[in-house]
Amino acid sequence: MTVHNLEGVLALQKLGFKRVVLARELSINEIEHICKNSDVEIEVFVHGALCISYSGRCLISSVIGGRSGNRGKCAQACRLPYKLLQDDKIIDNGYLLSARDICSLDYIKKLIEIGVDSFKIEGRMKSPEYVSIVTKTYRHYIDTFTSDINKQDIKNLSQTFNRGGFSHGHLSNEPSNKLVYPVKPNNAGIFIGTVSKFNSKKSYITTIPKEEISIGDTIIIGKDENKYTISELIFNNQNIKTCINQRVEIGRIKGKINIGDSIYRIHSKKLSNLAQTSYSKEFVKTPITGELTIKKDYNITAKISLTNNPNIYIYKETDIIPQKALTNPITRERIIKQFSKTGNTPFEFSNLNINMDNDIYIPNISLINELRRNLLNSLENIIINNSKRKHKDIKLFDEKNSYNTDNNKQISLLLNILNKNYDYSKLLEVDNLYIPFKYYIMDDYKEIIKSFKSTYIYFPSIIKKNYYNLIIKNLDYIMESFNISGFVISNLSDLEFVRKYNKKIVGNYTFNIYNNYTKSILHNLGIDKTTISPELNKSDLNNINSYNSEFIVYGNLPVMVLNYCPLGKLNKCSSSCSKHCLQNSKYYLKDRIGLNFRIIPDNIETITTIYNSKITSISTNDIPFKSYRIDILDENIDEINNIIHNVKNGYKFSGSLYTNGNLNKIV
């Protein structure tokens, strides 16, 4: 949901949310401001793989790979190599979007002090050993409430997984140039030493390890892509199991090895064994209380309940009738032993009361086992059913979808870039004109905007301190000085800025509207028109109610929104920056197959938008709406009018420069 400011948290608080997970791009000061001024629980991300794009704002995996990050299927295009182009010149290359993993042990005490309620740790596709070590480490620093960080804990976390070391993500209030590690995108391990000798015939390397290495460890060497599990360590012609700070030979090494290559350990057998010992003993069970009544000539009855919540219980009267024992009566100890066997169930008895007569006989003791199993299964089902979410009925619109078969189609035109050299009076057949907020406060563009009959203010994707102050300071003036028909907002938080003006409100595609439920709720909040998610295919779109819906049918789709500038390699603008964004150049990321993704930085808030390499072009005859949006970057007036003509008449552009997006995909 990209909740990145106080206004967004308060909007969710009003809707009844109990906890909000903040965007990962917030600093410690921004988090503190939110905690102090809201009443919901706050959760923040503290460790693991960091997305370079704002979550909820990344469509690149969906657009180029058919796997939606918003649906949990990200193909991690950010971990691929790119070249950075300034016009046609390469100015950088490498894994330019591959963020380092973050480690926030230094911030845990402070985050607790400012009121954070919950910490999120990334664990996607990670091993049990990773989970054990990372959670145990953070649990320790939460419980001890200390900022005195043990270096060995950092080493252990690094050994489990890291990408070129750790960063603090965006938690620091100062600019960071350590957010991205461009050298490699996968686990870097920890540095062990360098190769001082390589015997290719005997297949061994010689090194002096700076960290303890052992049989069973896994290492990587230099640029060799092989992973080697250490199976032979030789010191003074003797086989050894472990070594540190001594010249040692590591055997059975074959590959492209050079003297001077760095050696990194990516898996520690010793650390893994410690982790396995830890989690293999963990099986937390829920305490239950049992009561068993066994009386001669009466049906056996049993009841089990949650010890901490006696109102959740199961009671059963059986068909088992005990008789007077002639010989060898059953003992209380035997009953307790049989009935208390909870095995692999999630329960264990904290208290078991047995009310029974003496000198009784039960024909088949296995019936007691069956009774226990049935009771435990029934109790588990009750708990599961009580935990299921109960959804309120949502009243949906009942307007029917209908295809447009005429040219009475509304056109909304977004001018991402205003060009002072264009004569916009020549634009034809535009119903709604969307202009980015920043142009309304730039003197060079005021006359251009005043020449338009009416416009919608297109709010920025992210509104933090700088944009917030500009909006608060200038919005009243803008509303008085220009002919404003409404607003295009990109986040729930934006409603707080625009409600009072009583103008039309368009919910941008960034609301990720996939279904009629979301559309209806946004309508009830005061959003008049919704721009449906570009991730939907034709079948999905036909299931969306067409009432006040809009769909992007032309343009370079924004596929990433970054709190990071690949040009300056910083997450916040700084005086030390190279200021590439102020130069009269166009910037691109070029991928492995030669496609160029346009980069447009916004130094007001250090936000970088990356646009798809191909232009979306979809026939309006395929979409059951009345309003269609066209997004413009560099197209001139004649080209824009031609695009509008094609859209109005149901034509689409085709060729290698164009794509129909997800229209015919199952994402």
Say how many C-beta atoms besides its own lie within 10 A of residue 259's C-beta.
Answer: 12
Work out the end-to-end distance of the chain between its first and last CA atoms, rounded to an integer number of angstroms.
19
Instruction: Indicate whether 202 and 258 sit together in one domain.
Output: yes
Domain boundary among the residues 280, 299, 322 is at 280
What is the per-residue pLDDT for 645? Answer: 97
Instruction: Indicate whether 95 and 151 sit together in one domain.
Output: yes
Q: What's the CATH number where 654 sits?
A: 3.20.20.70
85-110 b/e with 16+ CB inside 10 Å = b? bbeeeeeeebbbbbbbbbbbbebbbe
Domain that holds residue 487: 410-555+615-659
Instruction: Indicate whether 80 and 197 sit together in one domain.
Output: no
pTM score above 0.75: yes
Q: What's the CATH number where 273 sits?
A: 2.40.30.10
Domain boundary among the residues 280, 308, 334 is at 280
Find, among 308, 317, 407, 325, the residue nearest to 363 by Cα: 325
549-555 vs 658-659, strand pairing mode: unpaired
CA distance 647 to 617: 9
Q: Is residue 563 part of a domain?
A: no
Instruction: Indicate whether 23 and 142 sit together in one domain.
Output: yes
Domains contained in the chain, number: 4
What is the per-residue pLDDT for 390? Answer: 66
Instruction: Indicate whether 13 and 116 sit together in one domain.
Output: yes
Q: What is the DSSP letter of 170?
A: T
**Token pair of 431, please?**
């119903």
Residues, the chain: 667
Q: Is residue 65 part of a domain?
A: yes
Q: Is residue 1 part of a domain?
A: no
Instruction: Indicate whether 355 and 247 sit together in one domain.
Output: no
CA distance 336 to 281: 25
**Token pair of 284, please?**
């937390």
What is the per-residue pLDDT for 665? Answer: 85
Instruction: Indicate whether 449 and 540 sit together in one domain.
Output: yes
CA distance 412 to 57: 21
Q: Please name the residues in contact with 77: beta carbons below 8 A apart, sequence gap of 6 or more.
A: 60, 61, 64, 65, 97
Instruction: Indicate whether 518 and 640 sit together in one domain.
Output: yes
Q: Is residue 458 part of a domain?
A: yes
CA distance 383 to 377: 10
What is the per-residue pLDDT for 403? Answer: 43
Instruction: Indicate whether 109 and 246 sit together in one domain.
Output: no
Q: Is residue 212 part of a domain?
A: yes
C-alpha dihedral sign at 221, 224, 225, 231 = negative
φ/ψ of residue 599, rounded to 5: -110, 130
Say how many C-beta atoms besides its own lie within 10 A of residue 236's C-beta.
Answer: 9
Q: Is residue 177 part of a domain?
A: no
pLDDT < 70: residue spans in the chain: 389-407
Instruction: Indicate whether 431 and 291 sit together in one domain.
Output: no
Find, among 337, 371, 377, the residue nearest to 354 by Cα: 337
Instruction: Indicate whether 162 and 197 sit together in one domain.
Output: no
320-332 b/e with 16+ CB inside 10 Å = b? bebeeeeeeebee
CA distance 290 to 288: 7
Q: Residue 151: helix, strand or coil by DSSP?
A: helix
Instruction: Indicate whether 66 and 129 sit together in one domain.
Output: yes
Say how many C-beta atoms besides its own lie within 10 A of residue 185's C-beta.
Answer: 19
Domain boundary among the residues 386, 420, 439 is at 386
What string of H, E and C letters represents the secondary structure of 372-407?
A: HHHHHHHHHHHHHHHHCCCCCCCCCCCCCCCCCCCC
Q: Is residue 350 part of a domain?
A: yes
Q: Is residue 575 part of a domain?
A: no
